[in-house]
C-alpha cells in the first residue's frame, strides 16, 4: 500500500509519516511532497490512491491539488488535514468531491488516536470521517436560512473580487435585479444591513463591509479567494473571446 503525504511544514510532514506507519501496518511506501504541485505529480507518477493533504500551501493549495487528483483518479481516498475549520474550505471541498468518494477532514488539533482512526477508516474501510466542528459547518452551509445558498455565496465571492453588479449579472447569467436581490439577502444574513436600518448605507460601503464580515467569520479565506481569482481569469478569457 502506498500513502502520499502532501504537507509544506517539515515537522508536520514527519508527524504524519509516523501516524501513517502506526495506523497502517499494511503501508509499505510513504511518499512525501512539500506543496500541491509536487503532490499532483507524485500522485500521477505513483498512481497513489491514498493521500493526506494539507489545505494551506503554496504555490498550489490542497483543494486545487485534490481537484486535479480526483479529476484524474476519482477513486482516490483523500484525508484533508488542516489547522482551520473554515466554511470557505468546507464549501470548496464539497464542490469537488466525486460521488461516492471516501474522504475526511480532520483538524491538526485532533488527538493522535483520532488521526490514526481517521487514516484507517478512510484508507482501509472506505468511510468518510469529518471532525465534529467541520460537520457543523457543513450543516450550516447547507442551510438556506442560517447559512448561505450557493448562489448567494457566489455573489459574495464576486464582490470580494471587485466585480460590478453588471459584470456579476453577465458572469452568472442573471438579471441585474436578481443580482441586487441576492446582494440584499447577503447583507441581511451578514448583519451589515437590516430593512429597518435606514442609516446603514450612510455609515458603510455595504460591499466592503460584507467582505470584511465574511473574512472575520471565516466564510471566505485566502484559499477560497486564490481559487476564485483563477476561476475569474478563465472566465474573463472566455468572455473576451465571446465579446470579439
Interval 12-60: pLDDT, tens: 999 999 999 999 999 999 999 999 999 999 999 999 899 999 998 888 8
100: left (phi over 0), alpha (psi -120 to 50) or beta: left
Spell out the domains of the chain, with CATH numbers in brackets: 2-141 (3.40.50.2300), 150-243 (1.10.10)
- Encode burial over 212-242: b for 16+ CB neighbours within 10 A, e otherwise: bbbeeebbbbebbbebbeeebeeeeeeeeee
CA angle 214, 216, 222 (to 5 degrees): 75
Angle between the N-to-C axes of helices 222-243 and 165-172, in degrees from 0 to 180, rounded to the nearest 10 = 80
Say what the pLDDT of residue 89 is.
83
With the C-alpha atoms ordered 210, 212, 215, 220, is the resulting torsion angle positive or negative?
positive
Say what the pLDDT of residue 158 is.
95
Q: Which residue numbers in the chain have pLDDT < 50?
A: 143-146
pTM of the model: 0.70
Amino acid at each position: 500500500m502506498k500513502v502520499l503525504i502532501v504537507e509544506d511544514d517539515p515537522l508536520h510532514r514527519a508527524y504524519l509519516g509516523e501516524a501513517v506507519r502506526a495506523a497502517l501496518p499494511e503501508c509499505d511506501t510513504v511518499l512525501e511532497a512539500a506543496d500541491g504541485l509536487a503532490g499532483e505529480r507524485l500522485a500521477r507518477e505513483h498512481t497513489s490512491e491514498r493521500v493526506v493533504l494539507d489545505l494551506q500551501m503554496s504555490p498550489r493549495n490542497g483543494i486545487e491539488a485534490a481537484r486535479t487528483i480526483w479529476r484524474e483518479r476519482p477513486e482516490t481516498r483523500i484525508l484533508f488535514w488542516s489547522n482551520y475549520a473554515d466554511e470557505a474550505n468546507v464549501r470548496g471541498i464539497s464542490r469537488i468531491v466525486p460521488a461516492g468518494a471516501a474522504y475526511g477532514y480532520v483538524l491538526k488539533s485532533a488527538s493522535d488516536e483520532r488521526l490514526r482512526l481517521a487514516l484507517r477508516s478512510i484508507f482501509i474501510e472506505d468511510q468518510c470521517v469529518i471532525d465534529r466542528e467541520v460537520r457543523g459547518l457543513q450543516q450550516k452551509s447547507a442551510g438556506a436560512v442560517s447559512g448561505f445558498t450557493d448562489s448567494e455565496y457566489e455573489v459574495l465571492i464576486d464582490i470580494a473580487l471587485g466585480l460590478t453588479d453588471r459584470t456579476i449579472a453577465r458572469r452568472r447569467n442573471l438579471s441585474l435585479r436578481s443580482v441586487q436581490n441576492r446582494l440584499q439577502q447577503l447583507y441581511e444574513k451578514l448583519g451589515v444591513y437590516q430593512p429597518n436600518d435606514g442609516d446603514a448605507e450612510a455609515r458603510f460601503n455595504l460591499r466592503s463591509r460584507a467582505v470584511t464580515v465574511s473574512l472575520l467569520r471565516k466564510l471566505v479565506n485566502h484559499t477560497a479567494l486564490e481559487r476564485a481569482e483563477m476561476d475569474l481569469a478563465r472566465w474573463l478569457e472566455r468572455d473576451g473571446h465571446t465579446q470579439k
